[in-house]
A and B are shown apart, each in its own frame.
Chain A
Amino acid sequence: MREVPPRNSVQHRNHVPHWSDLPDDEDGGDDAGTMVRPYTITRGRTAPERDDLTLITVLTTDGDEAARALARGSRAGTRGLQPEHRMILDRCRRPAAVAEVAAGLDLPVSVTKILLGDLVAQGLLRARAPLSVARASGGVDLGLLTAVREGLRRL
């Protein structure tokens, strides 16, 4: 399989946020300037409808549902998917964490979470919460640590 160049890698010096490609319309003279524009992708929403998405919540595209939604395409009107939604569904055919999706879209984490929340709510994306690291009850689960240790030894 072809390796996609790491567009969002640290080495990617010419860091041009893609929302700057959006037409410079009525937000142009706003004092808030660049702060507003990323949220145009979210239709002005600045907070996700669900607050359980973390940086390492792992998302996986739900194959059948997503295929049907993508097939409906732009005909679906206001409930339809935006390009970013489609990019997310494509990316998450292989499971990816919120941080990875955000890096891939070149969008801030908080904006990405709103888009992800849309897709989870529509049943197109499945979210798996991070493993709980229950330190209060006295240390991390030994089974988890053993698994991590085994994996690291192969590095």
Chain B
Amino acid sequence: MATPPSSAPVAPITAVAPVAPVAPVAPVSPAAVKILIAGGFGVGKTTLVGSVSEVTPLRTEEYLTKASVGVDDLAGVDQKDTTTVALDFGRITVNPDLVLYLFGTPGQERFWFMWNDLVNGALGGIVIADTRRLDTSFASIDFFESRRIPFVVAINCFHGHNTRTPNEIRAALDLDPQVPMLLGDVRERAFGRDLLLALVDHLMDLAADAADAADAAVTAAVTAPVG
């Protein structure tokens, strides 16, 4: 859409003098991408968002409507239930034309399945795990795997609490060997940055693999014996 040149007639603008002035040339909107931060309740999702975000983490809410499910359903009753779910997020201005949003997913992962807007279009995810209760991150890993969202794993190590080796943790989480896993303190900005970089590198590897696979498919098609 063309931005009106600043030399456009100014008469209509001067006629609205009581209004606070608007920037003469409307700023161009940057494009946006997002990364999801997941993990069990209280594992440090908002802390990680805050450690790398250029603004104090913001909170917003959404109404999610779900058809109630479970064993306590009354047969034949199509009961709907609405829940309010809170979401913490932050932002990183990558460059003047690109903003990265970091969304801490709600602690109860059953909500994610109802919230397509949260999940759709995510570049990837970071799953935070606590070695004292690794099982709280299982659902997050399951979710990203089922939705085919690439992710990296952050092992949040508070001082002296990590008594397991990385291999033991990998085994406990049943991680695919390709999935990067980093150990550190999510309160530290440098660790947050390294996690994001690890995710981007992982995405680049996956893109390269996909390109290779496409090439191989083309080669196979070209060289396939006739008959």
Contact = CB atoms under 8 A, between A and B. Distances in A.
Interface of A: 6, 8-12, 35, 54-64, 66-68, 70-71, 90, 93-95, 97, 99-100, 102-104, 108-110, 126-128, 130-133, 135, 138-142, 144-145, 147-153, 155
B87 A99 contact: yes
A135 B22 contact: no
Chain A interface helix/strand/loop/mixed: mixed
Interface residues of B, number: 75
Nearest to B119: A55
A149 B94 CA distance: 8
B93 interface: yes
B221 interface: no
Contacts of A110: 62-63
A155 B52 contact: yes
A11 B58 CA distance: 9
Interface of B: 1, 4, 8, 12-13, 15-16, 18-34, 46, 50, 52, 55-63, 82, 84, 87-89, 91-95, 98-101, 103, 117-118, 120-123, 148, 189, 192-193, 196-197, 200-201, 203-204, 206-211, 213-214
Given A54-B117, A99-B101, 15 more contacts: A6-B56, A56-B101, A97-B32, A97-B91, A103-B60, A110-B63, A126-B26, A128-B32, A139-B203, A140-B206, A148-B98, A150-B94, A151-B93, A151-B95, A152-B193
A36 B4 CA distance: 41
A138 B92 contact: no
Nearest to A129: B31
B208 A94 contact: no
